[in-house]
Structure 1
Amino acid sequence: MSFNIALSGISSAQKDLNTTANNIANVNSIGFKESRAEFADVYANSIFSNSKTAVGGGATTSQVAQQFHQGSLQFTNNALDMAINGGGFFVTSSDLSGKDQSFTRAGAFKVDSSNYLVDSQGNFLQTFPVDKDGNSTSVSLTTTKPVAIPDTAGSPQMTGNIDLQMNLNAGDSPLDPALFDPADRSTYNNSTAVTMYDSLGEPHIMTTYFVRPPNAAYTGESNWVAFYAVDGKQVDLDGPAGVYQTDTNADGTPDTPANAVTAGGWKGSVVKFNDTGSYIGSDPAVIKTESLGVAGANVLGPGTDGTQTLTVGFNNPTQYASSFEVTELSQDGTTVGRLTNVEVGADGLVNASYSNGSTVALARVALARFPNEQGLTQVGNTSWKASLDSGTPLAGEANSGTFGSIRSSALEQSNVDLTTELVDLISAQRNFQANSRTLEVNNTLQQTILQIR
């Protein structure tokens, strides 16, 4: 019997060695949870035995229990790396249906060839569906779904309004608008450009040129003429055109032209200031890019809807004795957005940002907890499956209730304490040697008995 006791001790010590060695081997495994070998003594159980003289039958391994305390966080430069700071597990599935679910603390996720978020084994990260405001519409492990990150977002919207706010230099030299030529820098004072979009979302450059006419043309006013071009081509102003010239009233005073100004086929609008430099107003500048004649023909590329009306508005411009400066320049068109960034919030909300300025709430990372975490079944790759011992998984949102928060651009490291494991390794080795010594002593006693004559 003493041989069996010694062998049970050796077996237990070997289990302890293996457990400790496995912890040490996984000290750098993302999301790994250390294990602890737990042992119990062995006694023969009989109603006829005398407990006062009973001798134990050795030791046995009662369980190898995983320890689910928090591992340290290591920060990365990948926004799709996620770590749970607190309780809970990520939910993954080997198929798009989300039925074959596994649970992990390893948050090293990436985008696969179909734009789904997956782990290193290709399992799909499970999420809760959300509405356009980012609120979860269902928090249940039966309704989770994998999340795909679209490369594009939104539909194009053609530009309809362009707003300008600027300072026109009161000290600029007057020029004759009738001589305006965008190819000749000496025929205009200043210019500014903005990117606008057609019905297909294709970008075009609309340039506004400012010409300060001679002051003699207008009494009590200081006026500027604005000309417009799209992609370097002249465009039509909607409405009747006037010729830039000095008109006189009945009393002989100069009069402001009521209509748009023309210059060699170019049509412009007038921006008006009083003699103190305060903005009075401007003639409407409504530009059409449809085929209204030579000036408006074929401005936009083929494939657009053929007609686009742009209203250019001047938002309280100024005329001070300082350099030309554009303080505000905006337009209301958008193009199809190209993916620029993905962010995961502390509450697990996955937001995608796009080049057109839009941000789309895609989904919320699903988390799960268990009544008995140590009852989970290990399946490798730092993942677990639910079992009868673990109980039914409980779904929840990150950063709420008993669920921890999610840290984007971070990974949870193994919770193995290498120093402790090395000490345990020495202790397990000592135990193994001591039980081996017990076996050796028993063998010596047996040899002594056999040698008795």
Structure 2
Amino acid sequence: MSFRISVSGMNAASSDLDVTAHNIANVNTSGFKGSRAEFADVFAVSAYGLSQQAIGAGVRLAAVAQQFSQGNVDFTGRALDLAISGEGFFTLSDKGATVYSRAGNFGTDSDGYVVNPAGQRLQVYEPNVAGGFDTGRLGDLRLPNGDSPPAATTKVTLETNLPAAATPPTVTPFDPNDPTTYNQTTSLTIYDSLGAPHTQSMYYVKTANPNEWELNTYVDGAAVGPAQTLQYDSAGTLTSPSPAQIALPAYTPTNGSAALSITLDLGKSTQYGTSFGIQTQTQDGHATGRITGIDISPEGAVSARYTNGAVQQLGQVALTNFANPQGLQSLGSNSWGETYRSGQPLHGQAGSSNFGLVQGGALEASNVNLTEQLVNMITAQRNFQANAQMIQTQDQIAQTVINIR
């Protein structure tokens, strides 16, 4: 029996060394979670139960428990490198099977899908048409490989201040080619349905009536509708039109694009002081654009940026947690699978309850403490040597007994 006890101790020490060696080998593996060998003593039980004088039968390896503590977050500057700061796992599709990982070293395959080095696809909540994300529907994250389509201008917002002390022009009627027939002018670039740019010019003419102006709108030198009357009150606030929206007549460019139907938003237009000023002048159209980068928010929202200023939502990184993460089964390649002991997967969004935040351009390092592992190695080595010495001692005792005459 004594020999078997010592052999079990040597086996336990060897298992401890194996676990330590595995941890040390993965000290630089992104998202790796170190393991700990856990042991239990062994007692031989007869048919009549365990007597009070029973001597143990050695030791056994009870479990290899993974430690899911947070690893350091190292910034890489690479857009598709992701790290989770807090609880949760990345959700991945491995040829249809769902697996989980803390390693966020993602890239793209030949079809534009975001994958890890093992080819497993990152899962996201797909975007809704009306905005936001559908948290009940998972899909593969795929980066667009084409240009962003153009969008025709439909709304122009003008935040201007007209001088209250202005006087009507001395020359009439209004002529856009004669600066003496208007008080102020401003312009901006708008876009048609083909993405072609056009110049929209606005001419402000003070009338003889108090606090009243006329606004003339031209596109590429052609008048778009008649002059629009702007009326302000004694406090300089626009009172007409009310609401402060002017729907211009449709303008059809000559390049074959669809007609432009533009609404002027003058809600923040004022009439103060003695000088003309432009605070904001924006429009909602854009030309064709090429992708320039990928942005990932702390909540895991993934969006593509284009040269035309457009932003396309691609999805929101889906995180998963478990009631007992140590019950997960290690599948290799930094991934784990669900088991009965882990409990059912709990899907959620980064930053919500029980889930950490997603850091773009960073990777979570291995949580293995090398110094601690080296100490464990020395301890396991001493345990192995002590059990081996015990076998040698028992052998000497057995030999002495055999030599008794």
Please state if 1:439 is matched with 2:391.
yes
Select 1:367's aligned residue among 314, 319, 325: 319
Give aligned-pair identity as a percent.
Answer: 38
In the TM superposition, residue 146 of structure 1 has moved relative to its aligned partner by 1.5
Q: State the match for 1:104 in structure 2.
A: 101
Coordinate RMSD, CA, aligned: 4.9
Whole-angstrom CA distance in 1 between matches of 2:219 and 2:49: 107
Structure 1 alignment gaps of length 5 or more = 183-188, 213-217, 240-259, 261-268, 273-277, 291-298
Residues 82 and 406, structure 1, Cα contact 8 Å, conserved in 2: no
> Cα–Cα, structure 1 residues 225 and 422, in superposed 2: closer, same or farther, change >3 Å?
closer
Residues 308-323 of structure 1 mapped to structure 2, 5 A cutoff:
308=260
Partner deviation per Cα, 1:282-323 (whole Å, 9 max, x = no partner): xx9x89975xxxxxxxx75x4524x5577889996989887x
> Cα–Cα, structure 1 residues 318 and 129, in superposed 2: closer, same or farther, change >3 Å?
closer
**SS of equivalent to 2:376:** helix
In the TM superposition, residue 62 of structure 1 has moved relative to its aligned partner by 1.5
Whole-angstrom CA distance in 2 between matches of 1:178 and 1:390: 78
Whole-angstrom CA distance in 2 between matches of 1:50 and 1:318: 98
* Structure-1-length-normalised TM-score: 0.66
In the TM superposition, residue 55 of structure 1 has moved relative to its aligned partner by 3.3
Please state if 1:122 is matched with 2:119.
yes
Whole-angstrom CA distance in 2 between matches of 1:368 and 1:238: 55
Residues 288 and 308, structure 2, Cα contact 8 Å, conserved in 1: yes
* Structure-2-length-normalised TM-score: 0.73
In the TM superposition, residue 224 of structure 1 has moved relative to its aligned partner by 12
Q: State the match for 1:425 in structure 2.
A: 377
AA paired with 1:77?
G
Residues 83 and 407, structure 1, Cα contact 8 Å, conserved in 2: yes
Q: State the match for 1:156 in structure 2.
A: 151
Please state if 1:343 is matched with 2:341.
no
Across the two proteins, how many residue pairs are aligned to each other? 391
Whole-angstrom CA distance in 2 between matches of 1:353 and 1:328: 23
Q: State the match for 2:233 in structure 1.
A: none
Q: State the match for 2:223 in structure 1.
A: 237
Whole-angstrom CA distance in 1 between matches of 2:20 and 2:131: 48
Q: State the match for 2:40 in structure 1.
A: 40
Residues 128 and 144, structure 1, Cα contact 8 Å, conserved in 2: yes
Q: Which moved more, 1:66-75 or 1:100-109?
A: 66-75
Residues 192 and 207, structure 1, Cα contact 8 Å, conserved in 2: yes
Whole-angstrom CA distance in 1 between matches of 2:403 and 2:372: 47
Whole-angstrom CA distance in 1 between matches of 2:262 and 2:91: 51
Partner deviation per Cα, 1:46-91 (whole Å, 9 max, x = no partner): 1368835533332221221112233333344345443334333221
Please state if 1:331 is matched with 2:329.
no
Q: Which moved more, 1:312-321 or 1:143-152?
A: 312-321
Q: State the match for 1:17 in structure 2.
A: 17
Give 1 or 2 for the bigger CA radius of gyration: 1
AA paired with 1:236?
A
Q: State the match for 1:72 in structure 2.
A: 72
Please state if 1:386 is matched with 2:338.
yes
Whole-angstrom CA distance in 2 between matches of 1:400 and 1:270: 50
Whole-angstrom CA distance in 1 between matches of 2:11 and 2:155: 81
Residues 150 and 193, structure 2, Cα contact 8 Å, conserved in 1: no
Whole-angstrom CA distance in 1 between matches of 2:315 and 2:16: 44
> Cα–Cα, structure 1 residues 76 and 228, in superposed 2: closer, same or farther, change >3 Å?
same
Residues 33-432 of structure 1 mapped to structure 2, 5 A cutoff:
33-47=33-47, 51-95=51-95, 99-131=96-128, 132-138=130-136, 143-150=137-144, 156-158=151-153, 163=158, 165=160, 193-205=187-199, 230=220, 235-237=221-223, 302-305=255-258, 308=260, 326-336=278-288, 338-339=290-291, 340-346=293-299, 348-354=300-306, 359-401=311-353, 403-409=354-360, 410-432=362-384
In the TM superposition, residue 10 of structure 1 has moved relative to its aligned partner by 1.3
Residues 341 and 354, structure 1, Cα contact 8 Å, conserved in 2: no
Whole-angstrom CA distance in 2 between matches of 1:370 and 1:227: 61
In the TM superposition, residue 363 of structure 1 has moved relative to its aligned partner by 3.1
Structure 2 alignment gaps of length 5 or more = 231-235, 241-245
Whole-angstrom CA distance in 2 between matches of 1:311 and 1:92: 46
**SS of equivalent to 2:319:** strand
AA paired with 1:66?
Q
Q: Which moved more, 1:101-110 or 1:427-436?
A: 101-110
Partner deviation per Cα, 1:262-291 (whole Å, 9 max, x = no partner): xxxxxxx9999xxxxx99x9xx9x89975x
In the TM superposition, residue 6 of structure 1 has moved relative to its aligned partner by 2.3
**SS of equivalent to 2:18:** helix
Residues 84 and 359, structure 2, Cα contact 8 Å, conserved in 1: no
Whole-angstrom CA distance in 1 between matches of 2:23 and 2:47: 42
**SS of equivalent to 2:105:** coil
**SS of equivalent to 1:4:** helix
> Cα–Cα, structure 1 residues 42 and 229, in superposed 2: closer, same or farther, change >3 Å?
closer
Whole-angstrom CA distance in 1 between matches of 2:59 and 2:282: 79
Whole-angstrom CA distance in 2 between matches of 1:405 and 1:331: 38
**SS of equivalent to 1:329:** strand
**SS of equivalent to 1:21:** helix
In the TM superposition, residue 13 of structure 1 has moved relative to its aligned partner by 0.7
